[in-house]
Amino acid sequence: MREITYSQALREALTEEMARNANVLLLGEDIGVYGGVFKVTVGLLEQFGPERVIETPISEAGFVGAAVGLAMTGKRPIAELMFMDFAFVASDQIFNQAAKTRYMSGGRAKVPLVVRTQQGGGRGNGAQHSQSLETIFTHIPGVKVAIPSNPYDAKGLLKTAIRSDDPVVFIEHKLLYNTKGHVPVEDYIVPFGQAAIKRPGDDVTLVSLSRTVLHSLEAAEAAAAEGIDVEVIDLRTTVPLDIETIVRSVRKTNRLVVAHESHRRLGIGAEIVALVQEQAFDYLDAPIERVGAMDIPIPYSKPLEDAALPDAADILTALRRVTA
């Protein structure tokens, strides 16, 4: 199987879905001539033209609102937010309009909208461009949330998102775009709500998502050298959340660590901990460990940013504690 980058996998998904369905179109800042800030949309303007690759003003509220209207009237828009942090500017359009329209119309109106964006630190982009906000979108009923960690899932999940009749917030990580992985040439999708077991193990369950999956796999390999057999689970989506796979694993390993780059306080890890406590408490042989970013704005300074964000060493420490 061929290897391509995460960004190439996303571009292939966009290209194939735009060719498959003439109602699929793109909106966003610098997505045309420039090809997007992370170059995912390079070449799409030339291929599909300015009526389907729409350069927008710097107004997230404006073009996400336009995308909601387009979705309600038969199009399948993909709105790209240059940075996830800017989603707050379009929060009413996402939280109050896209998320609620299908419910409030009794199913008569659908909003097949994808909001593509990236998040996370590690590049020294500062506090206003480095947040991980998946928990906020996971909290709002009516929105699906996909967070791929590798090129295969990036392509398959994005194709599923574009074909969905519900709004999807599709979250990428800025440090994953150049990572490579196996991606089939033939058409495929990755269903929402199906977590992936990236590494089987018997001693402790390690649940993660996005770039932190790479840290988790690194930590699991280091733990194996110490005799700790770690099962690594990649969530893939937080809405729907595949809690069944997590609980099944915990019932086997009797221990759980949850790791993510978002802030530890009220992160997705807290919800997973609560669900496991409710559904598998009697199987736990040790307190659950959570690993996340410090509850501070993400620093610009590289040494401080590295200290604030979780890495493989932090996860390994949690694995040691839960298996001690």
CATH number at residue 156: 3.40.50.970
Give the rounded percent of residues in the chain with a pLDDT score beyond 70.
Answer: 100
The verdict on 206 and 291 lying in the same domain is: yes
Whole-prediction pTM: 0.96
Cα gap 225→215, rounded to integer Å? 16
Whether residue 46 has pLDDT greater than 90: yes
Q: Is 114 helix (H, G, I), strand (E, B) or coil?
A: strand
The residues with which 293 forms a beta bridge, in sequence order, are: 263
- Tell me how far apart the alpha carbons of residues 28 and 303 are, in angstroms, rounded to a whole number: 33
Residue 188 falls inside a structural domain: no
Q: Mind giving me the DSSP string for 194-242? A: --EEEE--SSEEEEE-TTHHHHHHHHHHHHHTTT--EEEEE-SEEES--
Mark whether 22 and 140 lie in a shared domain: yes
Q: What is the pLDDT of residues 285-319, one digit of tens each?
A: 999 999 999 999 999 999 999 999 999 999 999 99
Instruction: Write out the residue range of the structural domain in which residue 35 sits.
Output: 3-182
In percent, the amount of the chain with pLDDT more than 90 equals: 100
Nearest to 38 by CA among 167, 162, 125, 114: 125
Active site annotation includes 263: no
Residue 277 makes CB contacts below 8 A (sequence gap 6+) with: 284, 288
| Domain edge (last residue) among 159, 182, 205 | 182
* Mean pLDDT computed over 234-262: 98
The predicted-structure confidence for 142-164, as pLDDT tens digits, reads as follows: 999 999 999 999 999 999 999 99
Q: What is the pLDDT of residues 188-223, one digit of tens each?
A: 999 999 999 999 999 999 999 999 999 999 999 999
Shared domain for 171 and 201, answered yes or no, is no
Q: How far apart are CA 90 and CA 94, in angstroms?
A: 6
The residue type found at 125 is N
Read off the pLDDT of residues 80-106 as tens digits, 9 standing for 90 and up.
999 999 999 999 999 999 999 999 999
Catalytic one among 12, 17, 29, 129?
A: 129
| pLDDT for residue 285 | 97
Domains identified in the chain, total number: 2
Q: Is 215 a catalytic residue?
A: no
pLDDT at 274 over 90: yes
Q: Looking at 89-206, list the stretches that DSSP marks H as alpha helix, in order from N- to C-terminal side.
A: 91, 101-104, 134-138, 151-163
- Say whether pLDDT at 165 is over 90: yes
Catalytic residue among 17, 60, 261, 289: 60
**DSSP per-residue codes, 25-65:** EEEETT-SSS--TTSTTTTHHHHH-TTTEEE--S-HHHHHH
Element (H, E) at 66: helix 60-72
The answer to whether 98 and 68 are in contact (CB under 8 A) is yes
Q: Does residue 18 sit within a domain?
A: yes
Based on the fold, state whether residues 159 and 255 are members of the same structural domain.
no
Contact predicate 217/232, CB 8 Å:
yes
User: Is there a domain that residue 16 lies in?
Assistant: yes
pLDDT band at 1 (very low <50, low <70, confident <90, very high): confident
Q: What is the pLDDT of residue 281?
A: 97
pLDDT score, position 230: 98
Cα gap 97→214, rounded to integer Å = 35
* Domain CATH for 227: 3.40.50.920
Query: Is position 190 within any domain?
Result: no
3-state SS of the chain: helix, strand, coil percent to 5? 40, 20, 40
Does residue 187 have a pLDDT over 90? yes
Verify that 23 and 81 share a domain, yes or no: yes
